[in-house]
Amino acid sequence: MLAFLQSGVPDTLRAAAESGAAHAGEEGGGLFTELLHHVQDAHELELPLIGHVALPRFEPLHLAGLTIDLSITKHVVFLWFAAALLVILAVLAAGQNRRNRIPSGLGNLFEVLIQFTRDEIVIPNMGTRGVKYMPYLLTTFFYILIMNLLGLVPYCASATGNVSVTAGLALIAFVMIQAAAIKSQGFGHYLAHLTGGVHWSLWPIMIPIEILGLFTKPFALCIRLFANMTGGHIVIVSLIGLIFIFKSYLIAVGPLGFVLGINFLEIFVALLQAYIFTMLTSLFMGLGMQPESHNGHQETEH
């Protein structure tokens, strides 16, 4: 069974099997903690035929009472790897489409996803004015998709399972949402919408609420992506842990069947979460680009 786990299923299955075999005598809680360790960030990589490879570690920086660790971790490596892979695939797809008038293969796949993003995400939520933001939204979609899918490849990891990564993506989305609103409405109207269109006497209540609302959107993007990408891996290691808790090959049939099914479901989830993050970002940008909302507040106030 361990040979089967090591041969082809995702890295969490293989790592869980090795950990479970080494700690089969432990209680369920300790085993689950050890299994869960394999879906967390680490300062080492596990490579085929090589084993564990330590990553560079640097002395933490201490700034204004904060400790900042710039050491390279497993998720950082796959963050960079996903970026490099995206650039390579995009260049190859562009080259194919430049040579062939009728796209095929990788070029056709990219064209389908690009047209889908434009026609089903950007234009419905942002109008034709949103087409100029396509480079950012397409980069977000493909980057998140590749990071999500890497978590299903043996010996790889999903960087979107790290809340720091999703927080960085959400921070960029926050900047783009505000920049799109300011560029569309003007800075004066952008500040005016923080009053909510109510009487000036209610501004001390409304302005903090509106400002809080600006940050709840990217916060929701951050936690939604992190939770969904982490949840699947936790379910997988939990099911694998059942095999070693019961210490029976007979019980292994059920969990392995469920695990394989969840892995197929994770492929769909990887695509779905990339779509949801991009769609919500474009939706929030589109809401900020509508000057009618400010006009409506003014009419209500008068």
Burial class of residue 115 (count of CB atoms within 10 Å of its CB; 0-12, 13-18, 19+): exposed
In whole angstroms, what is the distance from residue 115 CA to residue 92 CA?
Answer: 18
pLDDT of 42 over the 50 cut: yes
- DSSP letter, residue 53: E
**pLDDT value for 152:** 85
Average pLDDT over residues 34-59: 80
Average pLDDT of the chain is: 81
Average pLDDT over residues 150-172: 90
| pLDDT tens sequence across 192-215 | 888 877 888 888 888 899 899 899
- Other beta carbons less than 10 A from residue 279's beta carbon: 18
| pLDDT tens sequence across 278-288 | 999 999 999 88
Query: Nearest Cα to 278, choosing from 145, 147, 184?
Result: 145
Predicted model pTM: 0.81
Pick the more confident residue, 117 or 249: 117
In whole angstroms, what is the distance from residue 39 CA to residue 46 CA?
Answer: 12
In whole angstroms, what is the distance from residue 173 CA to residue 180 CA?
Answer: 10
- Residue type at 30? G
Average pLDDT over residues 162-187: 93
